[in-house]
A and B are shown apart, each in its own frame.
Chain A
């Protein structure tokens, strides 16, 4: 008999304690609301000056972007990608020479002379696992994830959904036809 009433008392008291907590949170709703009205409000992404002493570290995971003018075609990012989402094709050209027909600038912004012409640089963002491994080995720092510490180079972009899967393949290299490649590499006799 006593156990019967103890059970009733325990049930009622624990339920009331639980409901009191919920009530407290509800009346303090202005202070403690954690819901964001997306897309009008967005949670801020970590910016560069959050206290890093090492300025170049890429603490952002968003869409990949490549500054093609700086790419020397070393294939380091392609090799280190764990899921093979980067595809690059290169051709040998004269080192350091500008080839205006195909838009090849010859020297990167850091002063390195380019010995390879990059004709294909595709990144398939549906395969990318956002592990950030490709940004570390790049010697020219031309592949990076947009935004955050790289906001000066490219604004942040993490809302890049598309309707067609093929639109998620980002082609960074300029379109070059076979004749242009042949002229650039000097295969048909004309050295450029």
Chain B
């Protein structure tokens, strides 16, 4: 971009920020108009971020260097009782990442505490975040009485993944944890019957991992799909 194009675009963006969109819409050259619009979006975002940081600084009254995190009532309850176990609160308190060590205790707390009463485990998902990243298990919890939800993320190391089981707390976790073990290899400690669910008992490998290589043959059956003449 040449410098007078620069100043032309900066001019137009300023006018647009002040409210006059015609300055940009009347540019005839399509590429310059596109650049001006992009610069306008960037300027608007920068202004918004400034505003946010100003207001958060004001509400904190200055002093603490961290940003104030928006929490839901459930995540606030959790952070008041188990503040050390929380790694991160995401998505305005709807998603909480926890450390794996005390997960069993926290799960019992979630199910039995009068303000939480999360008696229904909706879904238990295993996730492989990437070949260099850890494995992760996500729990979606729901309360039939209070009708609120929360999602819990727990990371597991890739080499030796272990997470405490919650199958005694929510019985649904029994089979869902077996499936996660089958697909990812995450061992759920103290599970009373952890064996493969969908694959045969003597299958090798953890199929849903991103670096999964299927075995060459299984009891004499060729495993990879080979179709002659089809390529």
Residues of A with Cβ closer than 8 Å to B? 87, 122, 124, 166, 169
B230 CB-CB contact with A under 8 Å:
yes
Which residues of chain A are within 8 angstroms of B230 by Cβ–Cβ distance? 87, 122, 124, 169
A169 and B230 alpha carbons, distance in the complex (Å):
10
Which residues of chain B are within 8 angstroms of A122 by Cβ–Cβ distance? 230
A87 and B227 alpha carbons, distance in the complex (Å):
13
For the complex of A and B, the 6 pairs showing the least CB-CB separation, nearest first, are: A87-B231, A87-B230, A124-B230, A166-B229, A122-B230, A169-B230
Within 8 A of A (CB), among B175-231: 229-231
Which residues of chain A are within 8 angstroms of B229 by Cβ–Cβ distance? 166
A33 and B38 alpha carbons, distance in the complex (Å):
69
A63 and B230 alpha carbons, distance in the complex (Å):
20
A122 and B231 alpha carbons, distance in the complex (Å):
11
Which residues of chain A are within 8 angstroms of B231 by Cβ–Cβ distance? 87
A123 and B162 alpha carbons, distance in the complex (Å):
46
CB distance from B78 to the nearest CB of A (A): 42
Closest to B228 in A: A166
CB distance from A170 to the nearest CB of B (A): 13
Which residues of chain B are within 8 angstroms of A169 by Cβ–Cβ distance? 230
A124 and B231 alpha carbons, distance in the complex (Å):
12
Closest to A85 in B: B230
CB distance from B181 to the nearest CB of A (A): 29
CB distance from B67 to the nearest CB of A (A): 44
A87 and B229 alpha carbons, distance in the complex (Å):
11
A122 and B230 alpha carbons, distance in the complex (Å):
9
Which residues of chain B are within 8 angstroms of A87 by Cβ–Cβ distance? 230-231
CB distance from A26 to the nearest CB of B (A): 46
CB distance from B106 to the nearest CB of A (A): 41
Which residues of chain B are within 8 angstroms of A166 by Cβ–Cβ distance? 229
